[in-house]
Structure 1
Amino acid sequence: MVAEYRFGAGSAGRAADVGRPWNTTEVIGMSSFWKALPTEGRWLLSTVAIQTLGRGMTLPFTIIYLHEVRGFDLGLSGALMSLIAITGLVVTGPGGTLIDRFGARRVLITGLLAMIAGCTLLAYATHPAVATVAVVLIGVNFGVSWPGFNALIASVVEGELRQQYFGVNFALVNLGIGVGGIVGGFFVNVDDPATFTTIFLIDAATSLIPLALLLGPLRRVRTQPDHGPADETAGGYREIVRRPAVLWLTLLTFLSVFIGYGQLEAGFPAFARQVAEVSTQVVGISFAVNTAVIVLLQFAVLRLISGKRRTRVMQVMALIWALSWVALGAAGLLPDSLAAAIGVIAFMGVFAFGETMLQPTVPAIYNDLATDRTRGRYNAINSAAFQGGAIAGPLVAGLLLGAGAQGWFIGVMVAGSLAVGVLALVLERVVPSEASGVPLHRTEEVAGEAAV
């Protein structure tokens, strides 16, 4: 009827055509994974590392730019950084609703235009008012990009391949950000403002790549049905969150980010410098190790967890994260020593191993729980939980470490990691087996055995 169409059903149809069920648990290599992707999935995945390169060049240096280059007060610079996350959190809810109503593609285009404008403004922001407008525009993109791209991915890729896609995508994001950070570190110079202007303009330019994809090869992708009666069971955010599986998954996401990502830019570096007393070079090496572990191990981990219950994978991840925090705590017992440096680097390596288990599973569960009419809102809830944890994490870390309660800080992180495992156990009892990654044929076999 119209030129636009949804690729979800088409992807499943293509899988059926070659005689392999789409929710197969077959362990596939990178070559087979790439061949199994529909054309739209290949377009999305092939440009991820390049898209995130610009973000990697600016992410570690934005607060340095605001404070040391533009001369803004450190407190104001920190507030501007927080405003990005706060804006993203505020925009996420309405963004999810707009995705379900108008489609992810249109919302993403709007967000990318805001990102391009924000980065360009920030490149020349010599006044706090201009910088404020710039970071708000960047925050708007952050608020809609996560639910938008996840909804787009879920419409293009289905079943077990979707979990693998989220994992590979995560590795490529880290690769782009990691390489960008290294390039930015060698390029920028606080005595030469033009170097910072350049990296923010590069960040804006890299946003043109996904924009070109959405206006070109992906212009026909739709994330909402073309027609049909409204889904009476869809409801609003309140009705979605009332689902036990969504409620427990959202709590798990928030806590995972609170004791995980929420600490990587605040609690971890502060503990490493103030308590373990390692050099800034050691901190930099630890972040490089984190990126390397994710890039090198993500696909191997995907092979290991293929066909396994996602909730069980989360429980293993929780134990790994608890061990990583114990390693960091041990580093604090031997300050300013080789052992402390090893402990700090080991923390980031072990933590990264856990990350390779979290990122393929949580987005896949959210999208398997969602319908085509609610996919934007489900991914918005996921994004909001992530951003909430990212905001709360540094606040708690600052309070505990600022008060000299280093032991309590590590204790809270270890206890929080173990609590994630408990939440995963509770989630397993309420989430549908298919959403937890159990193949349909295995679910039917279990049901048949129970009937006998």
Structure 2
Amino acid sequence: MAVIDTLGLPNTEGRRPLIVAQVVDALGTGLFLPFAVVYFHAAKGIPLTTVGLMLSAGALLSLPAGPLGGRLIDRIGPRSVLVASNLVRVLTFTAYVFTDTPWQLVVLVTATLWGDSLFRPAVFALVAQVADDGHRARWYAMDRSLRNAGIGAGGLVGSTLVGWGGTSGYTAVVVLNAVSFLVAAGLVATWRRTAVLRPVGDGSAPVAKDAPEQPRGGYREVLADRAFLGVLATVWVFALCDLALTLLLSAYVIEARGLPAWQPGMLFAINTVMVVLGQTALAKAVERHRRPGVLQVAAVLWMVSFVLFAAVPGDHVGLAFGGLVLGMVVFTVAELLQAPTSSALIVGMAAGHLRGRYLGLEELMWSLARVLAPTVFTWLLARGAGLPWLALGLCCLAALVVLHALRRVLPAHVQRDTVHA
């Protein structure tokens, strides 16, 4: 236990099937994620512009999934929603193999994204139920570390399959992804909910921690929480910051600065290694600090990283790469601070019977950022290499102001686990 605590890992006794399910899910996601666009073009013969429209349409049509999923979580419990989200994706990825009609694929992409949007809040809500008191941030950190490791490993396997099998390799990637979702659903569904118990009253009558609570409120009650609306604003800002890694950085390095195409890959590798090796330890290091304060530090670090990215020269490859590496290290530390802290803060603010709705609105903010970011980032980049980084820095500055106000109004047990929730 001493080694586990030193690494910042939570107590996993009685909950290992849930962890294995997350790893399997991440491996499957890693198989397909790098080829999400190329698959429809190379294996289905659909023009790239049409693929882009398909994915954008699916993203727009899946916007309601987060709020509706939050309502379901509060009504039937996060485990049932988690299993359902995996089964939805089993069906959609299986169906991908048997159709190449664009309108049918739009329907399948939309259903897949609905499954994704149900999955994330359900996972966070289930973790909130099974985590030991005061260790929720550790669970969120471990989940993120495992997902990054699984996605990285899955990406390597997927690249091997595609390189070896061509079109058949793409089909194998899709089928294996469907299988991974099925295995994950089975592990969660068969996990014994009596494995982790919480005492009730005087402690003499334990009940399962993942038993769904009866809903006693709705979104009107959630939206009346003005502090939570402030947190949602910061979630949207930090989602844009996070998406800059996948949607902006490569285009900036290669197109705007004219640097070699190998540099973004190296930067992504640095990010992945840091997340896998450092996420849980850093989450443990800051768990006694106020969560809004930790998020403020993350915002400042993101601003520093954006300045470093914007300042890289395009006429000196070595110097530019050094600046990009430094910027990526600072960027990743900001990520490591923000991701588990934001989730723990939102769960800490939510009453148990409304937890799904709180998390559903968090997912909505991420979905809105995913819809907006590609268009805004590319529009700004076309008008000036430094403009996207300037815009993101100003957003972080606004988040700093909101978080400063939240530090004054949020209860102590929400800001940090000085009182067990």
Which one-letter code corresponds to 1:261 in the other structure? D
Q: CA deviation at 1:281?
A: 1.9
Match of 2:292 among 311, 330, 333: 311
Residue 285 of structure 1 corresponds to 266
Q: CA deviation at 1:38?
A: 4.5
Letter in 1 for 2:344: A
Q: Normalising by the residue count of structure 1, what TM-score does the alignment of the two structures yield?
A: 0.83
1:64-213 mapped onto 2 (5 Å cutoff): 64-189=38-163, 192-213=166-187
1:379 aligns to 2:353 (yes or no):
no
Residue from 20, 28, 34 that aligns with 1:60: 34
Q: Aligned-pair distance for 1:325?
A: 1.0
Match of 1:427 in 2: 406
Contact 2:24–2:181 (Cα < 8 Å) also in 1: no
**Structure 1 position 29 matched with structure 2 position 6:** yes
Pairing of 1:433-452 with structure 2 (within 5 A): 433-440=412-419
Q: Distance in 1 between matches of 2:408 and 2:344?
A: 17
Structure 1 residue 271 displacement after superposition: 0.8
d(CA) in 2 for partners of 1:77 and 1:336? 36
**AA aligned opposite 1:256:** F
Say which SS state the counterpart of residue 406 (structure 1) adopts: coil
Alignment of 1:259-274 (within 5 A): 260-274=241-255
Mapped pair 1:329 → 2:307 = no
Native 8 Å contact 1:103 1:222 kept in 2: no
Q: Cα gap change, 1:353/1:84 in structure 2, threshold over 3 Å: closer, same or farther? A: farther
Q: Give the residue type in structure 2 aligned to 1:366.
A: I
1:245 and 2:220 are equivalent in the alignment: no
Which secondary structure does the structure 1 equivalent of 2:18 belong to? helix
Moved more, 413-422 or 153-162: 413-422
Deviation at 1:182, TM superposition (A): 2.6
* 1:319-358 CA-partner distances (Å, limit 9, x unpaired): 1111111111122x33461222333333333211111111
Alpha-carbon distance between aligned partners in 2 of 1:116 and 1:345, rounded to the nearest angstrom = 38
8 Å contact 1:328–1:343 — kept in the other structure?
Answer: yes
Superimposed CA distance per residue, residues 33-71 of structure 1 (whole angstroms, 9 cap, x where no aligned partner)? 45x34513x332244233201111211211112223322
The code of the aligned residue for 2:288 comes to: G
Paired residue secondary structure (2:414): coil
Counterpart of 1:16?
A: none
> For the aligned residues, what is the CA RMSD?
2.3
Query: How far does residue 106 in structure 1 lie from its aligned partner after superposition?
Result: 2.1
Deviation at 1:226, TM superposition (A): 5.6
How far apart in 2 are the matches of 1:70 and 1:317? 42
Whether the aligned pair in 2 keeps the contact of 1:400 and 1:408 (CA below 8 Å) is yes
Identity of aligned residues (%): 26
SS at structure 1 position matched to 2:415: coil
Distance 1:74 1:240 in 2: 41
Change (3 A) 1:102 1:58: same
Aligned length: 404
Where does residue 205 of structure 2 map in the other structure? none
Letter in 2 for 1:180: G
Q: 2:328 aligns with which of 348, 351, 355?
A: 348
Q: CA offset at residue 191 of structure 1?
A: 8.0
Contact 1:55–1:177, Cα closer than 8 Å, also in 2: yes
Once the two structures are TM-superposed, the CA of residue 252 in structure 1 deviates from its matched residue by: 0.4
Q: 1:399 is matched with which residue?
A: 379
Is the CA contact (8 Å cut-off) linking 2:78 and 2:126 kept in structure 1?
yes
Structure-2 separation of matches of 1:237 and 1:387: 18
Q: Name the CA distance, whole Å, in 1 between partners of 2:340 and 2:229.
A: 19
Q: Which amino acid aligns with 1:433?
A: A
Bigger shift: 169-178 or 115-124? 115-124
Query: Is the 1:223–1:372 contact (alpha carbons within 8 Å) kept by the matching residues of 2?
Result: no
Structure 2: 5+ residue stretches without partners: 195-207
Q: How does 1:401-416 map to 2 (within 5 A)?
A: 401-402=381-382, 404-416=383-395
Runs (4+) of structure 1 moved beyond 6 Å? none
Cα drift, residue 209 of structure 1: 2.6
**Aligned equivalents of 1:122, 1:339: Cα separation in 2:** 45
8 Å CA contact 2:29–2:177 kept in 1: the answer is: yes
Distance in 1 of aligned mates of 2:26 and 2:57: 21
Task: Work out the CA distance in 2 between the residues paired with 1:274 and 1:84.
Answer: 27
C-alpha displacement of 1:168: 1.2
- Out of 273, 276, 283, the position equivalent to 2:257 is 276
How high is the TM-score relative to the length of structure 2?
A: 0.89
1:36-47 → structure 2 map (5 Å cutoff): 36-40=11-15, 42-47=16-21
Q: Within 1, Cα distance between the matches of 2:275 and 2:393?
A: 22
Q: How far did 1:314 drift?
A: 0.6
Residue number in structure 2 paired with 1:320: 301
Counterpart residue type for residue 250 of structure 2: P
Equivalent pair of 2:161/2:172 in contact (CA under 8 Å): no
| Paired residue type of 2:232 | T
Q: For structure 1, which runs of at least 5 residues remain unmatched after alignment?
A: 1-26, 442-452
